Amino acid sequence: MPRENAKCPHCGALERHRFAWLYFTRQTDLFDGRPKQVLHVAPERPFEPRFRKRLGPGYLTADLLDPRAMVKMDITRIAYPDQAFDVVCCNHVLEHVPDDRRALEELHRVLKDGGWAILNVPITAEATYEDASIVDPLERVKAFGQKDHVRRYGPDFVDRLRAARFNVKVATVADLHPEAERLRMGLNAASGEIFLCTKTLPLKT
């Protein structure tokens, strides 16, 4: 069912997009003006033109199916070398990927030491639930909420991120913004969580 005040009438951003934009601008160095190689998987329409304008030639969009993306990419087999990107943005993608653990390993591989990634997914279960035998679209809707989803994530999603060797910090709207601002921007539980994943610099020997 449609949610009241969910979609911005100007740019089409939903709650999760507005929350993420505030996080990018206030809690990261994404727009500090220094050159960066940024991989944006399945680029969201509210973000893409703004990222392209502010990040310049280091900005790369990728998608397996969407022809709008700059390159075609299967994130379980990324055709870029180790440590190719300073930043990776991959939002609401992993719930569509059958082998999400392989995808996380690949995202970790192409991220530079000391780099960071935003790897957000919808948290819709008490614990992650998946069943590879469910392939019928209607049955997937019943089990996972959408015909193209292959699992429901729970808070234990953090464990998968850490298993892929990421350091993880989880942020919610309540952590970042006063109530008045949350109300003005229509931020609520539907904004979800932000999973900031960093890749540790190797120890000096």
Q: What is the mean pLDDT of the chain?
A: 92
pLDDT tens-digit readout, 126-153: 999 999 999 999 999 999 999 999 999 9
pLDDT of residue 182: 81
pTM over 0.85: yes
CB 151 within 8 A of CB 129: yes
Q: CA-to-CA distance for 18 and 186, rounded, in angstroms?
A: 9
Taking only the tens place, the pLDDT of each residue in 150-188 is 999 999 999 999 999 999 999 998 887 677 888 888 887
Strand-pair category, 59-63 with 71-72: parallel
pLDDT tens digits, one per residue of 92-116: 999 999 999 999 999 999 999 999 9
Q: Which domains does the chain have, with CATH numbers?
A: 15-29+43-198 (3.40.50.150)
